[in-house]
Chain A
Amino acid sequence: DADVTQTPRNRITKTGKRIMLECSQTKGHDRMYWYRQDPGLGLRLIYYSFDVKDINKGEISDGYSVSRQAQAKFSLSLESAIPNQTALYFCATSDHQDYNEQFFGPGTRLTVL
C-alpha cells in the first residue's frame, strides 16, 4: 500500500464550485505539505503543517484553505474554484528528525472549467 495517498486522483469541476482534496499518510510523519505544479514552473508551496495544531501559509495560499484533522490527514480546499487553479496538486510529508526529505503522494489533477 502507498505511504502517501491522495483523493481524488482526477477531478473536473466548474468555476465557483467548492472542492476538497484529501491526503492521508501512514508514514507517521509530523510534517505535511500541499504544493501545486504548473507546466514550466517549479513546485509551489500552498500550505504546510508541522503538527496537528500548526498551519502555515506558503508562497501561494490565496484562494485556498487547509485542515489538519489528525497527524495522518491534511486536506486542501478551494472555496470557489477558478480556472487558473487548474493544476497538478501534490501532498507531501516529512519527518523533522530525518533532514526533512519529503515523500510525495501520487498527485491530483484538477481542471476548473
Chain B
Amino acid sequence: GQNIDQPTEMTATEGAIVQINCTYQTSGFNGLFWYQQHAGEAPTFLSYNVLDGLEEKGRFSSFLSRSKGYSYLLLKELQMKDSASYLCAVMDSNYQLIWGAGTKLIIKP
C-alpha cells in the first residue's frame, strides 16, 4: 500500500530552526510537495521537489532523497505566524497526490 509518515506534532521557539521529516512509500514517484495549512483554512503550496537535493525559498527549504524515500522541510527564523500544520504529499505514478496526516507545528515565544 501507499504510505506517508510525518510526526503528528512539534514544538519550537520563535526565532529558532525546526526540521519536519516525511518518509514515504508510494506506487511510483512524480514529485513531493509540502503545503502549509492554518487551522480551518485551505492548504497553500510551499515547495516541490522531484530531484534529490535541497530547494531553498526564503526562510523555507525542502530536501529530498528518493533512494531513502525521505524528505524534510526546514523552517528558519521561526515566527509566530508559522504556527500551522505542514502537509507532505507525494505524487504517485497515476499523478494523484497521496497525503500525509500533517505535522502540527506550535511556536512558543
Which one of B43, B44, B87, B96 contacts A58 once the chains associate, using CB atoms below 8 Å? B96
Of residues 45 to 69 in B, which have CB atoms within 8 Å of A's CB atoms? 45, 48, 50
Nearest CB of chain A from residue B9's CB, rounded to whole Å: 11
B96 with A104: CB separation less than 8 A: no
Does B74 sit within 8 A of A, measured CB to CB?
A: no
Tell me the nearest residue of chain A to B6, going by C-beta.
Answer: A42
A102 with B97: CB separation less than 8 A: yes
Which one of A45, A96, A107 contacts B96 once the chains associate, using CB atoms below 8 Å? A45
**Interface size counted on chain A using CB atoms at 8 A:** 20
Given known A-B contacts A43-B43, A90-B42, A107-B42, A101 and B99 have beta carbons under 8 A apart: no
B44 with A104: CB separation less than 8 A: yes
Could you tell me the distance between the alpha carbons of A103 and B91 in the complex, rounded to whole angstroms? 15
By a CB distance below 8 angstroms, the chain B residues around A58 are 96
B45 with A103: CB separation less than 8 A: yes
Tell me the nearest residue of chain A to B48, going by C-beta.
Answer: A99
Does A15 sit within 8 A of B, measured CB to CB?
A: no
Could you tell me the distance between the alpha carbons of A41 and B98 in the complex, rounded to whole angstroms? 12
Band of interface residues on B: 20 to 34
Nearest CB of chain A from residue B7's CB, rounded to whole Å: 13
Of residues 19 to 42 in A, which have CB atoms within 8 Å of B's CB atoms? 40-42
By a CB distance below 8 angstroms, the chain B residues around A41 are 101
Given known A-B contacts A42-B87, A43-B87, A99-B48, A104 and B42 have beta carbons under 8 A apart: yes
Could you tell me the distance between the alpha carbons of A106 and B31 in the complex, rounded to whole angstroms? 24
By a CB distance below 8 angstroms, the chain B residues around A74 are none
A42 with B4: CB separation less than 8 A: yes
Does B33 sit within 8 A of A, measured CB to CB?
A: yes
B45 with A102: CB separation less than 8 A: yes
B interface with A by C-beta (< 8 Å)? 4, 8, 30-31, 33, 40-45, 48, 50, 87, 89, 91, 95-102
Closest 6 CB pairs of A and B: A42-B99, A104-B42, A43-B99, A42-B101, A104-B43, A42-B100
A interface with B by C-beta (< 8 Å)? 40-45, 48, 58, 88, 90, 96, 99-107
